[in-house]
């Protein structure tokens, strides 16, 4: 195991139990039990919890606590989980498998999958709005979440991605970057900036963490494309080669595998540069290196 992987493992061992203790709490008892079950099914499917963990680490990196950033971390995982449920729908990416299990709509039906996503998105804002936090920081975090998730962020990127599949002319690198900056980059960037805000960052720290988030968001997407092109289904827990197989644009298809690996290295170096001015940076540095090395 590399040093970066060991640091990431230590962070996960410390932070995942804190997240898991709270994550499904709002959805355990209620008047719509079948919908609650559908929501918990996707929240409990595991996954790497990258966004909430980075949010908590960003708070710590500026001298804040895990407790201060926890409502933001939960909100980010709700938004991420909703986006996976909706992206898997037949009208979107039409996937039957997610993290090695049947997708939400395969188990609960399309109607409940749409509503489970809707309810998760709503609760993301609910958990932040009702948290006992400084009201100005809380409002800032809510605005950042909306910006990262909405039509100027993730939802807009998903729409462009969907439109791209229907185009007959191949897209260029600029268009690919735009799609990913919105589709995956915006929420990752928001994860870091929400952690920064809730942890009490200075304006300079906040913008350094925002830039770090943008850089690892890009690295994350390039590595995703590389894995899709090179890994097996067993390694990924989902269909491999599906993007290339349906003629979707990817970094390797535009830059070649070597070109994509070079772009990944540059994005990672850029992320590391952004951390120079932060009081505590070993965890976030390890995560940047780890995300570029990961095999699934």
Compute how many other C-beta atoms are within 10 angstroms of the C-beta atom of residue 171.
Answer: 16
Figure out which of the listed residues 12, 97, 107, 139 binds a copy of itself, where binding follows CB under 8 A: 139
Cβ atoms of residues 286 and 4 within 8 Å? yes
DSSP codes, 77-145: HHHHHHHHHHHTSTTTT--SEETTEE-HHHHH-HHHHHHHHHHHHHHHHHHHHTS-S-HHHHHHHHHHH
**Minimum distance from residue 65 beta carbon to a copy of itself (Å):** 20
Residue 173 binds a copy of itself, judged by CB under 8 A:
no
DSSP codes, 39-56: HHHHHTT----HHHHHHH
Figure out which of the listed residues 8, 55, 182, 260 binds a copy of itself, where binding follows CB under 8 A: 182
> Which one of 4-12, 45-53, 153-161, 257-265 is the stretch in contact with a copy of itself (CB under 8 A)?
153-161
Between 18 and 129, name the residue whose CB sits nearer to a copy of itself: 129
Question: DSSP alpha helices (H): ranges in the chain?
Answer: 3-23, 33-43, 50-61, 66-87, 104-108, 110-129, 135-149, 154-164, 173-180, 186-198, 203-230, 233-236, 242-245, 251-274, 282-293
Cβ atoms of residues 229 and 254 within 8 Å? no
Residue 98 binds a copy of itself, judged by CB under 8 A:
no
Residue 143 binds a copy of itself, judged by CB under 8 A:
yes
Distance of alpha carbon 263 from alpha carbon 252, whole angstroms: 10
User: Restricting to residues 102-121, which ones interact with a copy of itself according to CB under 8 A?
Assistant: 109-115, 117-119, 121
Figure out which of the listed residues 7, 59, 81, 158 binds a copy of itself, where binding follows CB under 8 A: 158
Residue 86 binds a copy of itself, judged by CB under 8 A:
yes
SS3 34: helix
Between 143 and 173, name the residue whose CB sits nearer to a copy of itself: 143
User: Restricting to residues 40-79, which ones interact with a copy of itself according to CB under 8 A?
Assistant: none
Residue 146 binds a copy of itself, judged by CB under 8 A:
yes
Figure out which of the listed residues 3, 20, 163, 269 binds a copy of itself, where binding follows CB under 8 A: 163
Residue 295 binds a copy of itself, judged by CB under 8 A:
no
Residues that bind a copy of itself (CB under 8 A): 27, 30-32, 34-36, 39, 82, 86, 89-92, 109-115, 117-119, 121-123, 125-126, 128-130, 135-136, 138-139, 142-143, 145-147, 149-152, 155-160, 162-163, 178, 182
């Amino acid at each position: 195991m590399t040093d970066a992987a060991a640091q990431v493992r230590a962070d996960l061992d410390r932070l995942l139990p804190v997240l898991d203790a709270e994550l499904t709490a709002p959805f355990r008892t209620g008047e719509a039990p079948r919908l609650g079950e559908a929501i918990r099914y996707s929240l409990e499917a595991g996954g790497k919890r990258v966004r909430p963990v980075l949010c908590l680490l960003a708070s710590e990196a500026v001298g804040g606590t895990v407790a201060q950033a926890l409502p933001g971390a939960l909100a980010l995982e709700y938004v991420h989980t909703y986006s996976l449920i909706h992206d898997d729908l037949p009208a979107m990416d039409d996937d039957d498998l997610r993290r090695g299990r049947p997708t939400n709509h395969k188990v609960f039906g399309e109607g409940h999958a749409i509503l489970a996503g809707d309810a998760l998105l709503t609760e993301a804002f609910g958990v932040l709005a009702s948290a006992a936090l400084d009201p100005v920081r809380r409002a800032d975090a809510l605005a950042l979440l909306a910006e990262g998730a909405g039509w100027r962020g993730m939802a807009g990127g998903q729409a462009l991605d969907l439109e791209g599949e229907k185009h007959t002319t191949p897209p260029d690198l600029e268009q690919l970057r735009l799609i990913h900056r919105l589709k995956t980059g915006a929420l990752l960037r928001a994860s870091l900036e929400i952690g920064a805000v809730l942890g009490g960052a200075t304006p300079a720290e906040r913008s350094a963490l925002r830039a770090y988030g943008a850089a690892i968001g890009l690295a994350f997407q390039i590595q995703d494309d590389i894995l899709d092109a090179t890994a097996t289904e067993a390694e990924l827990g989902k269909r491999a080669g599906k993007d290339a197989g349906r003629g979707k644009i990817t970094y390797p298809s535009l830059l070649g595998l070597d070109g994509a690996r070079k772009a990944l290295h540059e994005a990672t170096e850029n992320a590391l540069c952004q951390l120079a001015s932060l009081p505590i940076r070993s965890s976030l540095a390890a995560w940047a290196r780890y995300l570029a090395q990961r095999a699934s």
